[in-house]
Amino acid sequence: AQRVTQPEKLLSVFKGAPVELKCNYSYSGSPELFWYVQYSRQRLQLLLRHISRESIKGFTADLNKGETSFHLKKPFAQEEDSAMYYCAPPPSGGYQKVTFGTGTKLQVIP
């Protein structure tokens, strides 16, 4: 089974401060990982995926195979970043027992 863990349930930062949301994974093979975000009263939506190595809304995430981590980072937090963030492996077919991380609530304090 592909497992991801998010150790922090809640992360509070001040506006303008750096943000790091932690995600660790534990499965063999070449991992593919995603970050999903859910803003208040909105649907769960993709934020970014590690394959594309893109920056979305100022967020980046680097896959660190040595530390088995895929932390989400942003240098300067904004109030509109307040949301639930989930780290997730992709369901790509086959019996993989996919479960998202438990999620981290990011609270940006004005």
Partner 1 sequence: EAGVAQSPRYKIIEKRQSVAFWCNPISGHATLYWYQQILGQGPKLLIQFQNNGVVDDSQLPKDRFSAERLKGVDSTLKIQPAKLEDSAVYLCASSLGRPGNEQFFGPGTRLTVL
What residues make contact with partner 1 under the rule CB under 8 A? 6, 32, 34, 43-46, 49, 51, 86, 88, 90-103
Nearest distance, CB of residue 16 and partner 1, angstroms:
29
In the complex, minimum distance from the CB of residue 49 to partner 1, in angstroms, rounded to a whole number: 7
Beta bridge partners of 85: 37, 104
Decide whether 64 or 96 has the Cβ nearer to partner 1. 96
- Geometric angle at alpha carbon 55, from 82 and 1, rounded to 5°: 80
Using CA atoms, how far apart are residues 106 and 7, in angstroms rounded to an integer?
A: 13
> Which residues share a beta bridge with 3?
26
Smallest separation (angstroms) from partner 1 to the CB of 9: 8
Return the number of the residue (14 or 92) whose C-beta is nearest partner 1.
92
Pick between residue 43 and residue 66 the one whose CB is nearest to partner 1. Answer: 43
35 close to 50: Cβ distance less than 8 angstroms: no
